[in-house]
Amino acid sequence: MSDWQPKRFWTEAKVVAVDGGHAVHLDDRPVKTPAKAGLILPTRALAEAVAAEWDAQTEKVDPGTMPVTRGANAAIDKVRTQRDEVVAMLAEYGDSDLLCYRAPGPDGLIKRQAAAWDPLLDWAAETFNARLWVGEGVMHVSQKPEILARLTQEIDSFDEFALAAVHDLISLSGSLVLALAVTRERLTPIEAWDVSRVDEDWQIEQWGADDEASAMAAVKRAAFFDAERFYQLTRG
């Protein structure tokens, strides 16, 4: 970002209307991305959230407490500059979606996966005309090219800011279908996260929780919720 300092140097972070959207100024200095691009945001709500993160910094700036700013930087510096590659990478999740890989046993887990995941695959089939095939175990289940093309078209419909959020929703959950269900408000972020954790929660019930794994899951859960909030802010 422009004028990046380890310590706070500004008095006020404010939103300023500019050509193409909304900027955030630290006093009279516009914030820039790490690649020195202008941090121009598509909605005032998103700009206000970025400004609030900067205002919340105290003596030293902590990027770890600024998920909205990080998302905006990613949208401008990474997604915008390599959009086609990002779309293709995310669309590949449709060919390896978490919801399509089912356990061979025990019966309790088989039933739990079916109860949580089958309705969402039905929803995707109806909403996007994209019926994904389901397999057992970890062997790859190849999906029809025309189905993947429809899902790719949906991913490609997002602007770079929404796409930055969708990237995190997909990569954190392991499911393109779950991410789209969140963006279409078929699921709340809490529901989607819980659905993505069916296997892990089953294992915890059987064997107990591992402290390190639980801590990692908590970090990913928070990031998933941050991504959903960022997506909503891009919609204004």
Q: For 129, left (φ over 0), alpha (ψ -120 to 50), or beta? A: left
Q: Say if residue 41 is in the same domain as residue 125.
A: no
Positions in the chain short of pLDDT 70: 1-6
Q: Say if residue 25 is in the same domain as residue 123.
A: no
Tell me the chain's radius of gyration from C-alpha atoms: 20
What is the model's pLDDT at position 236? 84
Kindly state whether residue 70 falls inside one of the protein's structural domains.
no
Kindly state whether residue 76 falls inside one of the protein's structural domains.
no
The whole-angstrom separation of Cα 173 and Cα 76 is 23
The whole-angstrom separation of Cα 231 and Cα 99 is 22
Kindly state whether residue 149 falls inside one of the protein's structural domains.
yes
Strands 13-18 and 135-136: what pairing?
unpaired
Strands 101-102 and 135-136: what pairing?
parallel
Number of domains in the chain: 2
Q: Say if residue 157 is in the same domain as residue 129.
A: yes
Buried b (16+ CB within 10 A) or exposed e, 68-79: bbbbbbbbbbbb
Its pTM stands at 0.95
The whole-angstrom separation of Cα 131 and Cα 140 is 16
Q: Say if residue 49 is in the same domain as residue 105.
A: no
The whole-angstrom separation of Cα 187 and Cα 119 is 11
Kindly state whether residue 69 falls inside one of the protein's structural domains.
no
Look-up of token digits 């100024």:
25
For residue 23, give its domain range: 1-63
The whole-angstrom separation of Cα 138 and Cα 12 is 53
Out of 11, 36, 63, a domain closes at 63
Q: Residue 221: how many CA atoms within 13 Å on its side-chain side?
A: 13
What is the model's pLDDT at position 6? 63
Q: For 104, left (φ over 0), alpha (ψ -120 to 50), or beta? A: alpha
Sheet hosting strand 29-30, strand order edge to edge? 13-18, 21-26, 29-30
Kindly state whether residue 52 falls inside one of the protein's structural domains.
yes
Q: Say if residue 174 is in the same domain as residue 115.
A: yes
Q: Say if residue 34 is in the same domain as residue 110.
A: no
Domain CATH number, residue 20: 3.30.2180.10
Q: Say if residue 155 is in the same domain as residue 104.
A: yes
Domain CATH number, residue 88: 1.10.3580.10
Q: Say if residue 91 is in the same domain as residue 176.
A: yes
Q: Say if residue 142 is in the same domain as residue 230.
A: yes
Q: Say if residue 94 is in the same domain as residue 176.
A: yes
